[in-house]
Chain A
């Protein structure tokens, strides 16, 4: 049981923490942080699986996929932040308009 499995468990934990925060918070910036944490958890599981059997040469294909994922995550975060700022400029606060009556003042 190499150390890589502990990192894979940490990755699964990061994904779950991020998912809970995504559902629990109403503020859009916190949702964006939560999605980034979920992405990091997935990358951690990928990289841990690349070195799990302790071979000297790690598998480079998951590493390339993780680099691709990091760049795509930053592009998506930038676009999401701009959309959040536009929503704040339109409605005055950075939350999604609710569907239920109790959310609308």
Chain B
């Protein structure tokens, strides 16, 4: 009986995910599409919980639904301001015969992918046992954090670099139309004053607890980004004195620390990012702290869009 209910929940969630994605991509109104996409992200977070992946669920809810939704809505507002007929061109990328043959090809691709995932062997053990065997030498007890920051630390090093690179690309494209600074009403003002310190506390908690429970640097950085986005929306801007060097220090702290650790491990141990087991826990905490600050600052700067100091120029 229990497995029947669990199976029904799984089928309902899978259908909801596909239905929301279809609705988001096929709806005529662009705003409705964005809202359905955010709902799709939140239902995906539930799917991650059902698949025994709470770290991924936290990251999807915070980054995939939260930050991406904020970015999409901000871009939609700027698009409406720039060209009032933003809802035009709903479809029409393919015409006539081309449309039908592309649809048949994609149906065939979907059938092929479905067969491919259905016939995968189900007795593959995966790397869970190897990770569990080596977890004591990794410095943390959460296996996902151990994989992210110790066993596959190289991927995470490149990932923080990619975030910084996206910000450099955004700043180099140039300032788009600035957001109007309206005075916030009393409700938004007091909400942001109340929630910002609480969100910073939650981010610090997520960072600390990531060593032995679901959490970690990326989820904490996303919560910091949520606090920053809320402050930006209620009219706060970084004072000019802080916007030059301290902002750039905050943005570069994570990647620079990680890169420094990589160079040191190559020089001392001969292998890239081979953390010595005695020091691994402390090193991981240092890396995660600087990475959290950098990720939060980078996501906030990506939301703002324009380089600091150039917001008033077109």
Contact = CB atoms under 8 A, between A and B. Distances in A.
A24 B165 CA distance: 30
Contacts, number: 271
A74 B144 CA distance: 20
Interface stretch (B126-134, B196-204, B240-248, B258-266): B126-134
A65 B177 contact: no
Interface centre among B24, B88, B109 (most CB of A within 10 A): B24
A9 B14 CA distance: 9
B182 interface: no
A2 B170 contact: no
Interface string B46-88: 0110111101100110011001100110011011001101101
Interface of A is mostly: helix
Contact of A85 (B48, B75, B127, B152): B75
A61 B21 contact: no
Contact of B92 (A26, A43, A75, A77): A26
A16 B106 contact: yes
A67 B288 CA distance: 14
B79 A59 contact: no
A8 to B, nearest CB: 4
Contact of A7 (B10, B116, B156, B216): B10
Given A7-B10, A36-B68, A83-B173, A19 B109 contact: yes
Interface string B287-299: 0000000010001
A78 B302 contact: yes
A84 B75 contact: yes
B162 interface: yes
Contacts of B120: 8, 49, 52
Interface in B19-59: 21-22, 24-26, 30, 33-34, 37, 40-41, 44, 47-48, 50-53, 55-56, 59
Contact of B102 (A23, A33, A72, A76): A23
Nearest to A94: B79
11 contacts: A7-B14, A8-B120, A12-B117, A20-B106, A30-B30, A33-B37, A63-B144, A70-B56, A82-B176, A82-B305, A94-B86
Given A15-B110, A25-B90, A57-B128, 5 more contacts: A19-B106, A29-B34, A55-B128, A82-B170, A85-B79
